[in-house]
Amino acid sequence: MDADVVAGPPGPPWSRTAARDDRGVVTVGGVAVDALAGAHGTPLLVVDGDDLRARCRAFVAAFGPDAVVYASKAWCTTAVLQVVAEEGLLVDVASGGELATALAAGVDPARLVLHGNAKSAAELDRALEVGVGRIVVDAMEELELLDGLARARGVRAPVLLRITPGIDAHTHAYVRTGHDDAKFGFTLSLGLADAALARALDLDGLELRGVHAHVGSQVVDPDAFVANAEVLVDLLARWRAEHDLELDDLDLGGGMGVAYAAGDPEPDVAALGAAVRAAVADRAAAHGLPLPRVLVEPGRAIVGPSALTLYRTVAVKDLPGLSRWVAVDGGMGDNIRPALYGAAHAVTLAGRAPVGPAGPVMLVGKHCESGDVLATGAPLPGDVAAGDLVAVATTGAYTESMASNYNRLPRPAAVLVEDGTVRPILRRETEEDLLRRDVPLP
């Protein structure tokens, strides 16, 4: 078959085991997607288990055991957390719901890190009750609240202070978190980090373990992570000099980027780990500091490329001289990223071999919004027709976790495929599910 016509796997941005069989059908983990769609319906999230595990192992190899914390906001479902925990990762949770999911997955609470810039008293108290290993504090009010809750339970809360380091990672404004004027953390340049430290040291219910800073999301430049490490080590050195205080944990956050299209840059995890660990070691040695425990929190870089979404085409609309529109049975309800961030995903005809050259089309969903566009200029062949299967790459991160029921559409199912074995990990929602929360008027 002509390579210019058959777009898509194998190779990035598709997952490791994604390929095409001798019919031209996309396969994942040795299973053809037409069989998956036939058994489980569409839209369908398909997770490549081999890819997911390999990415976990690459981060552990790069940063060391007990140094990698999976940022579960990327995709927080019981089965995904079970896999990452099996691979030795800690888990970061950012709400009571994510905490409940991690506990349901059997994750040791001591291996959980609780995040969030507006945690409720109930969320903090639950974290103390189950023994969460680290709580990242984001505001002065939270210090006071957590101290009271911990003293009421007769415990000391293990705390990391979230620092806003003043680093602009030059990513999308909505996912840039390290610059000074951000909603997260204690801004270093304004003296808020020092004020938070002073207050934390005065509160008997808190056990200060270290610092945390996160520079943004979808960051592909390793220099941003190195700069973050250097700023935080310098801060630890100054605090030791000023307060005779040595802190153990240096949490550099996550935000490592991934390839969404062929040729996109993606961090070399081994090189990133080596650069960050060397920067921390060199800076600590220069200050005469003991080497802190380095933690990183990848989410997208773990699960993002490990999944694709299958859709069934519903209609093809040709507008001569304008555009060709291909509508599918999902859309912004199961992948809001293109509409929210202008994100681009690779797309391919998945259920058969194409005929004729590929041409750019507008791949759109079924929601009642003009902005319900999954891909602009998608390379689908001239014979694409209603009933075809289309695959969208790199949908493991921030798709299911940000999915909605807009237009009262049920959310998709998901399966995990490994070595020819298919395991459901999310059941498809039903109309009964949609109505379950409704309270009719009497």
List residues with catalytic annotation.
368
Question: Six-digit token pair at 413?
Answer: 């199912």
For 97, the 3-state DSSP assignment is helix
Please give the C-alpha separations between residue 109 and each of 106, 132, 154, in angstroms, as whole numbers: 9, 5, 18
Question: Six-digit token pair at 130?
Answer: 């189950």
Please give the C-alpha separations between residue 272 and each of 221, 234, 338, in angstroms, as whole numbers: 9, 20, 28
Tell me how far apart the alpha carbons of residues 299 and 321 are, in angstroms, rounded to a whole number: 42
In degrees rounded to 5, what are phi and psi of residue 130?
-90, -10
Question: Six-digit token pair at 185?
Answer: 């953390």
Tell me how far apart the alpha carbons of residues 113 and 91 are, in angstroms, rounded to a whole number: 6
For 34, the 3-state DSSP assignment is helix
Place of tokens 């979404």: 309
Q: Are 278 and 264 in contact (CB under 8 A)?
A: no
Q: Are 307 and 74 in contact (CB under 8 A)?
A: no
Smallest CA-to-CA distance from 314 within 389, 381, 374 is with: 389
Question: Six-digit token pair at 408?
Answer: 């009262």
Report the C-alpha dihedral over residues 211, 399, 408, 119, rounded to 10 degrees.
0
Place of tokens 């003991």: 290
Tell me how far apart the alpha carbons of residues 314 and 309 are, in angstroms, rounded to a whole number: 16
DSSP code for 200: H
Tell me how far apart the alpha carbons of residues 375 and 322 are, in angstroms, rounded to a whole number: 16
Question: Six-digit token pair at 407?
Answer: 């237009």
